[in-house]
Structure 1
Amino acid sequence: MVSVASWNINSVRLRMPIVERFLKEHAPDVLCLQEIKTVEETFPFEAFNALGYTYHAVHGQKGYHGVATVSRIPMQEYSRHDWQANGEARHVGVELTGRGLGPGQDMVIENVYVPAGGDVADREVNPKFGQKLDFLGRMTDWAGSIERPTLIVGDFNIAPLESDVWSHKQLLKVVSHTPLEVETLARFQAAHNWTDIGREFIKAPDRYFSWWSYRSKDYRVGDRGRRLDHMWASPALANTASAHRIHEDCRGWEKPSDHIPLVTEFDL
């Protein structure tokens, strides 16, 4: 069994105390972090090593963006893609190694931080929205060439289903839930026949959120969440998924991220 967690941590150095708590309490084999907001030179390697996470793949950027994957089982960096086409650190891929896994039993884990896309859902007046759509387009082109069992995780910054948001009607024109974004993400899903692992275990229309804005002092009041974080598996790998959990309690920890961790277990 291999367990993989994904978490937009919104500054790994600032929130290392809650990362440590999560790893001590839940101990996933692999942890994929987004929005680490630090370069590799200042990434907290020692803190992860002390917890047994001695394998690292860090694609960082000072103050913004950045992704990192840490593991307590052997892995190595596999890929870096510039789907933003501007040098921003938004992706790192790893492959699990050293477990004696044969053909069809290995796993590549792609860790991605999709741009948020700004506030206006119109690429003509908001270039950031166009960059987000183009980012997803490059991801879609890449997905068609995948050959190995692959898990892609991260902050997709899109809540595709009506039950992925607190109010479908009120958010239809809000970036992250617009029909154009949902359609663009659906094309990415179709390009590799990805399985949305979260929704395999938490069936729609059941409520499933992974993000709550900092604007509310208590995220539970009104429960205005969205499912922006995802774990999608290629067909053969999806068949080995045995459990999926969300850790909503982490949103209430001291100095939390505005996102929560997702964890999927695979029986390889």
Structure 2
Amino acid sequence: MPFTLATWNINSVRLREGLVARLMEEEAPDILCLQECKSPVDKIPTEAFEALGYRWRVARGQKGYNGVAIFSKLPLEEAGADDHADLGHARHIAGRLENGVTIHNFYVPAGGDVPDREVNDKFGQKLDYLTSMRDAFHADRPAKSILVGDLNIAPREDDVWSHKQLLKVVSHTPVEVETLGQTQDAGAWVDVTRADIPEGQLYSWWSYRSPDWDKADKGRRLDHVWATPDIASAAHSSRVLRHVRGWEKPSDHAPVFATFDL
């Protein structure tokens, strides 16, 4: 059952309902995973999405911040929601397809502005969240699974516009990269995007602060698609829809796509 999956930090699903519907209509992924929905589950818009064929959904929500959701054209049942590091945040939801593939949708804490947990609690929460994910994957090694989401870390030197200038900037610091690597290794996750696109600068996020984000191109690859080794070889056609960042009143993230022949 081949299917195409997309992950997108939407930065308010209610504010950008029209953009979500546009992506669904123009690109038609079979499964769309959203992060930073900023809405209680019962307030997430669904009517327009259902009209476009997205009849199945699982979600966790909060008023005003966080929140994750999976919309699917394929039958999907909820398969858990973990509160890593006991933060009380809606940052994870899992769904299972009829073919047994589990899709994990994560929104890892951004970590604030100062990369020092002694003076910035948010940075500590980010590291603790990733460590909790790592420990969970060690305890219960995932299989036949896909992990997507805004992991808020750009791990490779070519995942950022300037490795040297961002070494002390949250999202690319050595401790974050190391902790994310440990989390990835714990589940033996394969970075599908980089398996498909192994070379070159690749970004999925551009700051709102840049007056001309496209020309300046100071991006970071914060959004990821991973898969367990048993199904990773079935993935192909990875792409970042950079042009979506240029839509009217956009999210600061662009959607990331991959297709799986399963």
TM-score computed with the length of structure 2 as normaliser = 0.97
Structure 1 distance, partners of 2:196, 2:143, is 23
Cα deviation, residue 222, structure 1: 1.4
Other-structure match for 2:68: 67
Cα deviation, residue 147, structure 1: 4.1
What amino acid is aligned across from residue 26 of structure 1 in structure 2? E
Other-structure match for 1:172: 167
Output one character per residue of 1:123-147: Cα deviation in whole Å (capped at 9) or x when no partner.
1011111110000000001112134
> Where do residues 224-239 of structure 1 align in structure 2 (5 Å cutoff)?
224-239=218-233
> Where do residues 154-233 of structure 1 align in structure 2 (5 Å cutoff)?
154-204=149-199, 206-233=200-227
What amino acid is aligned across from residue 19 of structure 1 in structure 2? V
Change (3 A) 1:170 1:147: closer
What amino acid is aligned across from residue 119 of structure 2 in structure 1? V
Other-structure match for 1:26: 27
Cα deviation, residue 109, structure 1: 0.2
Is 1:258–2:252 an aligned residue pair? yes
Cα deviation, residue 221, structure 1: 2.1
Cα deviation, residue 218, structure 1: 2.0
RMSD of aligned Cα (Å) = 0.9
Other-structure match for 2:95: 94
Structure 1 distance, partners of 2:141, 2:76, is 19
What amino acid is aligned across from residue 56 of structure 1 in structure 2? R
Q: Is the CA contact 2:204–2:253 (under 8 Å) kept in the aligned structure 1?
A: yes
TM-score computed with the length of structure 1 as normaliser = 0.95
Cα deviation, residue 2, structure 1: 1.0
Provide the identity percentage. 54
Between 160-169 and 43-52, report the one with greater CA deviation. 43-52
SS in 2 for 1:116: coil
Output one character per residue of 1:59-78: Cα deviation in whole Å (capped at 9) or x when no partner.
00000000000101100110
What amino acid is aligned across from residue 193 of structure 2 in structure 1? G
Q: Which runs of 5+ in 1 are unaligned?
A: none
Structure 1 distance, partners of 2:113, 2:216, is 22
Structure 1 distance, partners of 2:142, 2:36, is 28
Change (3 A) 1:258 1:147: closer
Q: Is the CA contact 2:158–2:201 (under 8 Å) kept in the aligned structure 1?
A: yes
Other-structure match for 2:81: 80
Q: Is the CA contact 2:143–2:230 (under 8 Å) kept in the aligned structure 1?
A: no
What amino acid is aligned across from residue 155 of structure 1 in structure 2? D
Structure 1 distance, partners of 2:251, 2:43, is 19
| Deviation beyond 2 Å, 4+ runs, structure 1 | none
Q: Which runs of 5+ in 2 are unaligned?
A: none
> Where do residues 44-63 of structure 1 align in structure 2 (5 Å cutoff)?
44-63=45-64
What amino acid is aligned across from residue 149 of structure 2 in structure 1? G
Which of 208, 216, 238 aligns to 1:244? It is 238
Structure 1 distance, partners of 2:178, 2:220, is 17
Other-structure match for 1:137: 131
What amino acid is aligned across from residue 65 of structure 2 in structure 1? Y
Other-structure match for 2:115: 121
